[in-house]
Structure 1
Amino acid sequence: MFYRMRRSVQQLSAEETEAVLMRGSAGVLALTGDKAFPYAVPISYVYDGDHIYFHSAVEGHKLDAIRRNPNASFAVIDQDEVIPEKYTTAYRSVIAFGSIRIIENDAEKRAAARRLAVKYAPENTEAQHSEMIDRTWERFCILQMSIAHMTGKEGRVLTERRG
């Protein structure tokens, strides 16, 4: 069902792949858009080791696409150093494939919103996180991506640098 990486020497280990997801701050979520056009949207996220969580407005293109087809891919670029003299880049990235659901349960939604708040405002107190979540509660929804397949890859330059 999922392609095997052709250049397996460049494939990141499962631990390295997860580390990229943990330290990333944004990625591109790809969905099936209107009239079979792909719809890819840059988005903030949090990865908890099992799922990837996103926040969204309560209506719009993204939610319409998910309701029609919950299958998605999500890509995070960890490094992208252009090396002009070699006409290449030193890159590291992850792509995850899975299915997205809209979290309806308030306790689940609050827990995922808290994960996002802690990731993006780690210096804030628990009370500040709760206040922000409460203030915006009716204006956002939380999406959960269950991962079916995930791979990480680095460019040849980084593989060679590692030895």
Structure 2
Amino acid sequence: MEEEFRKMRRFRQEITEEECRQVLKEAPRGVLALRGENGYPYAIPLNQFYNEEDGKLYFHGALQGLKLDLITKNNKVCFTVLDEGFKKEGEWPWHFRSVVCLGRMEIVENRDKVLSICRKLAERFYPTKESIEEEIRKAGSRVNVLVMTIDRMSGKLVKEA
């Protein structure tokens, strides 16, 4: 069953799918929103890895906790990122691109894939391969990886004014 999604209201600000993927690859972090407890939304900042090969988003975290409990109950999620932004010469407001992804989250069960994704994610933040391997040696057995299959992705260029 294909789900219907509302069209973007400000279509002139819409960015292309290729631009959306670029923002997902470059943005250091975003906010994951889940259906929370007691009817409240639950949104947390996370680092992500956008895999161009399969078009999916990957996240790392602990082996247990509220995030995993909520995903087990309802795996529909929203992930939002903003790029660094820029100012046009002679203008004061910031311009930035935002991307909103709606999709379904699953736990990656294969330990080799978990560690492979952790390495790819860590390459964005750690200074050396040696430091990545040291962290995996220390904490690799306690890490979990989640994968988000994107059902809908939209983005726009916003001028903060």
TM-score by length of 1: 0.84
Q: For residue 125 of structure 2, what is the aligned residue in structure 1?
A: 120
Contact 1:29–1:40 under 8 Å retained in 2: yes
Q: Indicate which of 32, 35, 56 corresponds to 1:32.
A: 35
Q: For residue 94 of structure 1, what is the aligned residue in structure 2?
A: 99
**Matched residue SS, 1:54:** strand
Q: For residue 85 of structure 1, what is the aligned residue in structure 2?
A: none
User: How many pairs align?
Assistant: 152
TM-score by length of 2: 0.85
Alpha-carbon separation, structure 1, partners of 2:21 and 2:86: 21
Alpha-carbon separation, structure 1, partners of 2:31 and 2:77: 10
Alignment of 1:116-155 (within 5 A): 116-121=121-126, 123-125=127-129, 127-155=130-158
Task: Please tell me the root mean square deviation across aligned C-alpha atoms, in Å.
Answer: 2.2
Q: For residue 50 of structure 2, what is the aligned residue in structure 1?
A: 47
The answer to which structure has the higher helix fraction is: 1
Contact 2:27–2:84 under 8 Å retained in 1: no
Alpha-carbon separation, structure 2, partners of 1:101 and 1:10: 32
Q: Indicate which of 65, 72, 80 corresponds to 1:75.
A: 80
* Aligned AA (1:47): Y
Q: Indicate which of 68, 88, 104 corresponds to 1:63.
A: 68
Q: Indicate which of 102, 106, 113 corresponds to 1:108.
A: 113
The percent of aligned pairs where both chains have the same amino acid is: 34
Contact 1:75–1:96 under 8 Å retained in 2: yes
Instruction: Call closer, same or farther: CA 1:157–1:34 in 2, change over 3 Å.
Output: closer
Q: Indicate which of 6, 15, 20 corresponds to 1:17.
A: 20
The runs of 5 or more residues in structure 1 that have no matched partner are: 83-87, 159-163
The runs of 5 or more residues in structure 2 that have no matched partner are: 88-92
